[in-house]
C-alpha cells in the first residue's frame, strides 16, 4: 500500500507551521526542522490581513490572534522636541481597508501557528539541513544533529537567509537584493509610556519608532545606507557600531536609546532585503515565504507567508504524485500577490523613512490622507480580484 507523501519543511516561523497544518489536513506527512531550540522569539509586530485572514479563520485561530493582538491604534510622528507633527489613526485605516486585520508580534504569531500544527506534524527543533541530494523518487536529507532521512519533497520556509535556497538554488548573493535600508530592533523592559500609539521620529534617511507591545516597548531603528562591506547579520558588536555611526547627532530620545543599544545583548539588526528568483522550485524542492520571495518589512511578508503556505498545500493536494505541476500552479497563483508588493516597497520606504527634511514635512502632511488611501487600495484590490478569473481563463 502506498503511504502518504512525506514533506520536510525547513523553518518554523510563519510559513512553515502554516504549511505543516494544511499539508496534514490534506493527508501528507509533514516534518518541520527549525534551527532555534524552541518556537522563535523575535518580537517585531507583524500584520495578518487580506488573504491571510480567511486562512487563519479556517484554522480556527481568529480568536486566539485577537487575544494576542498588540492593540495599537495610532502612529504618532514627533519632532526633535517630542511634539506631534503628524498622526495616522490606524482604526480609520483598518476600517477603510476592511476592518478584519490584526497586528500581533511575530513571536505570538509563530507560537500560535506552531500550537495549531504540532499535533499533526513532527517538529525537530535545534537542528538544520546540511545537505540535499534529490533523484527521480525523493530527496536524501542530511541534518546537523538528526540521522539522515529520505523525504518525497522538501520546502524551504527558512526565511531571508534560507539554507534550503543556498543548497538547492545557489548562493544568497544571487537572489537577495539590499533595498538600501537597514533595520534594528531592541526590546526595552521598562513599561511602555504609550499604550496605543506607536511614536515615531524621523531625521533625513532615519527613523526610530517606539512600539508598545503588551505593556513593554519595542524600539525599531530603520535607516538608509548602502550595503555595508563585511556585514554579518549575527555580529552584535558590529551592529552596535553601525547604529552609533548612523544615528550620531540625532535629536529627540535618540542619544538615550543609543545608550540602551550599547548595553543590550539582544540587539537584532539586518539589511532590509528582497528575495527574487525566476522560479521557486527546483525538482522536488520548493521555496515558501521570505526564503523565496521576501518583500522586506514594508510589504506584508507574514500575510504572504500564510497565504502562500495555504496555496502550496492546496495545489500539492490537487495533484498528488505530480509535484511539478503543483509547484507551477502554486507559483503562478502566489506571484499575483507577491509581485505588486515587491514593486511597492520603495514607495512605502519613502513614506516611513523620507531621505530629506522636505520629504519629512511632506509625509507629515500626507498622514492626514492615509485612511482615504487605504480605502482606495481596498477598492483597487477588490476590482483586481474580480477581474482575475476572467484573465486566467482567457
Which residues make up the interface to ligand FAD (CB under 6 A)?
10-16, 33-36, 40, 44-47, 106, 128, 157-159, 163, 183, 185, 289-291, 297, 300-303, 305
Residue 338 Cβ vs ligand FAD, minimum distance, rounded to whole Å: 11
What CA–CA distances, in Å, run from 31 to 17, 131, 271?
A: 10, 16, 30
Residues with Cβ within 8 Å of 227's Cβ and at least 6 positions away in sequence, in order, are 178, 271
Residue 197 Cβ, how far from ligand FAD at the closest point, in Å? Answer: 16
Cβ 1 to ligand FAD shortest distance, Å: 32
Q: Residue 200: is it exposed, middle or buried by C-beta count within 10 angstroms (0-12/13-18/19+)?
A: buried
We find the least distance from the C-beta atom of residue 40 to ligand FAD, in angstroms, to be: 4
Shortest Å, Cβ 391 to ligand FAD: 26
Q: Which is nearer to ligand FAD, 196 or 361 (CB)?
A: 196
Strands 216-224 and 206-213: what pairing? antiparallel
Q: How many residues does the chain have?
A: 394
> In this complex, which beta carbon is closest to ligand FAD, that of residue 14 or of residue 258?
14
Q: How far is the CB of 322 from ligand FAD (least distance, A)?
A: 25
List strands edge to edge, sheet with 197-203.
84-89, 74-78, 197-203, 206-213, 216-224, 176-191, 268-275
Q: Which is nearer to ligand FAD, 157 or 261 (CB)?
A: 157
Write down the H helix ranges in the chain.
Answer: 15-25, 51-58, 62-68, 90-96, 106-117, 163-168, 236-247, 254-263, 290-293, 301-318, 323-343, 345-352, 357-366, 370-393
What nine digits make up the cell of 392?
486566467
Residue 108 or 158: the one with the smaller Cβ distance to ligand FAD is 158
Amino acid at each position: 500500500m502506498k503511504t502518504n507523501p512525506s514533506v520536510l519543511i525547513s523553518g518554523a516561523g510563519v510559513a512553515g507551521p502554516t504549511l505543516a497544518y494544511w499539508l496534514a489536513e490534506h493527508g501528507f506527512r509533514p516534518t518541520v526542522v527549525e534551527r532555534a531550540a524552541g518556537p522563535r522569539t523575535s518580537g517585531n509586530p507583524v500584520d495578518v490581513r487580506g488573504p491571510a485572514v480567511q486562512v487563519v479563520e479556517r484554522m480556527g485561530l481568529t480568536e486566539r490572534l485577537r487575544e494576542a493582538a498588540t492593540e495599537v491604534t495610532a502612529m504618532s510622528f514627533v519632532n526633535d522636541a517630542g511634539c506631534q507633527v503628524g498622526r495616522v489613526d490606524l482604526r480609520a485605516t483598518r476600517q477603510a481597508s476592511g476592518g478584519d486585520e490584526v497586528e500581533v508580534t511575530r513571536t505570538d504569531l509563530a507560537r500560535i501557528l506552531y500550537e495549531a500544527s504540532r499535533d499533526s506534524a513532527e517538529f525537530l527543533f535545534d537542528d538544520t539541513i546540511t545537505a540535499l541530494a534529490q533523484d527521480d523518487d525523493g530527496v536524501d536529507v542530511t541534518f546537523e544533529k538528526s540521522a539522515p532521512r529520505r523525504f518525497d519533497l522538501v520546502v524551504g520556509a527558512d526565511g531571508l537567509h534560507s539554507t534550503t535556497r543556498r543548497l538547492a538554488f545557489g548562493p544568497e548573493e544571487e537572489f537577495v537584493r539590499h533595498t538600501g535600508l537597514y533595520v534594528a530592533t531592541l526590546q526595552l523592559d521598562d513599561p511602555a509610556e504609550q499604550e496605543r500609539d506607536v511614536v515615531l521620529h524621523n531625521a533625513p534617511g532615519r527613523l526610530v519608532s517606539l512600539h508598545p507591545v503588551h505593556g513593554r516597548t519595542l524600539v525599531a531603528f530603520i535607516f538608509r545606507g548602502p550595503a555595508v562591506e563585511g556585514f554579518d547579520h549575527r555580529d552584535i558588536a558590529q551592529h552596535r557600531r553601525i547604529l552609533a555611526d548612523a544615528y550620531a547627532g540625532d535629536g529627540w530620545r535618540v542619544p538615550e536609546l543609543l545608550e540602551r543599544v550599547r548595553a543590550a545583548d539582544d540587539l537584532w539588526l539586518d539589511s532590509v532585503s528582497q528575495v527574487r528568483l525566476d522560479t521557486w522550485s527546483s525538482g522536488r524542492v520548493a521555496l515558501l515565504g521570505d526564503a523565496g520571495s521576501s518583500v522586506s518589512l514594508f510589504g506584508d511578508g507574514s500575510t504572504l507567508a500564510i497565504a502562500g503556505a495555504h496555496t502550496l498545500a492546496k495545489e500539492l493536494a490537487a495533484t498528488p504524485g505530480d509535484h511539478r505541476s503543483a509547484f507551477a500552479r502554486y507559483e503562478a497563483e502566489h506571484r499575483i500577490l507577491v509581485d505588486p508588493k515587491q514593486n511597492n516597497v520603495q514607495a512605502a520606504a519613502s513614506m516611513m523613512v523620507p531621505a530629506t527634511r522636505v520629504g519629512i514635512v511632506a509625509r507629515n502632511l500626507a498622514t492626514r490622507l492615509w485612511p482615504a488611501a487605504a480605502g482606495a487600495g481596498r477598492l483597487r484590490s477588490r476590482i483586481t480580484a474580480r477581474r482575475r478569473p476572467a484573465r486566467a481563463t482567457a
